[in-house]
A and B are shown apart, each in its own frame.
Chain A
Amino acid sequence: MTQLLALLQAALVFGTVILFGSMGEIITEKSGNLNLGVPGIMYLGGIAGLAGAFLYESSAAVPVPLAGLLIALLCALAASMLGGLIYSFLTITLRANQNVTGLTLTIFGSGVANLFGGAMNKMAGGVGQISVAATSGAFRATPPFLSGLGVFSGLGFMAYLAIILAILSSRFLNRTRRGLNLRAVGENPATADAAGVSVTGYKYLATCAGAAITGLGGLYYIMDYIKGTWANDGGIEKLGWLAVALVIFARWKPLHAVWGSYLFGVLFWLYLYIPGVSLDRSSQEIFKMLPYIVTILVLVAVSIKKSRGNEPPANLGLPYFREER
């Protein structure tokens, strides 16, 4: 029983990282932009938040946790939105190929993050020496009114924020005028344009807002998942790709992404909790494939069922140019 609880707790923490990532990507993809820069944006958000908190904590005599938290949040949001803005400018204004731009953004993000991560390691006096204890503590503190929720209690506030954001974005997409306009832009931009919806505006806004949410995943990873330090092990990138897979698994619906992310977490950590089996490193890796295998199975099942509601936005990955004939 305790084993099961431990597995679920680990899954919730793990799931929250990719839930942010894929929620942001769902919003982005609803506008017809396929941003494969998710890992890169998570890197940007993570490193910017860490850098902000690190500089604050090393300059302040007695760091105030709440101030560190706000600085980290602001830095993460700004950096990841900048990533989204670069992507938007290249693909929407200059109409560059979306796949190439996204992949490049991933490489760019990981490069930038590792560069600054390395530099901060040096300033802190060695690899793994970065510590933003006060800020990270603030991120990991459970809001008092949220205790006593069983397996859901004892998580950092961002885990709850992710669920709230998922509910909000689902309501936004399905219940509001702007949400309807956004969906139309991703499905059929020429139609949305003819109906008086600003296609460029919606694409820019959705991509930047999506990137901001995605970047929060990176911040959560840094502050909560690895407890406020920097590791050069490509962990964020791995989770970033899982977030992209989760978008497909959730069939572009934020609420499905919530349970999907926790399911991915369970599947990812399953190998540690299989009773009576101790696995060596190579067989562990086989188990870590499970989320991807499940995604493939979902893809197969969805394409057999062929329901129109489960398909990606029809114009996903394509540029839009009004006067093209």
Chain B
Amino acid sequence: MTAYALTDSWTMTRRELARWGRQPVQLAVNLVFPVMLLLMFGYLVGGGRGVSGAYRDYLVPGMLALTMAFGLEGTMIAVTRDLDKGVIDRFRSMPMANGAVLVGRSAADMLQSVLTLAVLIGVGAALGWRAHGGPAAFLGAVGLLLLLRFAMLWIGIHLALVAGKPEMVQAVQILVWPIGFLSNALATPDSMPGWLGTVVEWNPMSHTATAVRHLFGVPGAESGHVAPAVLWPLALLAVFFPLAVRRFGRLSR
């Protein structure tokens, strides 16, 4: 049955792509929403407390990291929806590689994240934002962002399997937003009360945002965050990947 692992994973990925084809509006909304956030924080709310230099340079990488972190919700919604509809039961009762359900989910979500990053970076560029670090650093930054998304993806799968029902997603959404904003995505920790600043510096998302700023050559971005931006998501994956896989296996309990 492992002989089919690749074929089945590809079939499951194609299923998600077919859903995009059925719901282009939904896909467009998913892609446009982060752009709206970028415009809102860049122009309406404005500010950028504690940021020296151009806020836009600071904000675009922060927004990229924030969007990757919020991807957790999308993953969770998709997995709970499948559980709720019983279609996962059909997959599990078929002679297919069982892991393909999760692999297909990850592949499709990662593809969507690549699209999202492309759109956001494109809009950022249209607003006059530029990456200054060179192509290798640019790719490195994108890699770090996708690594963060990948970690969030498996946290999302695990939470969805724990929650089981779509109604539970809301509870997680309420938590995801403050955790997302409790980072240096939009403002520097120096501008916050002491204890809050410490929390923000510990937030794995902050490391990714800072490392990406550094690689994009944003003036004043600290170096030395690339290693934690690699290690944090890997650590999260080391915890949540096995948990999610185990939880998936436990559907038969």
* A and B interact physically: no
The chain A residues found within 8 Å of chain B, CB to CB, are none
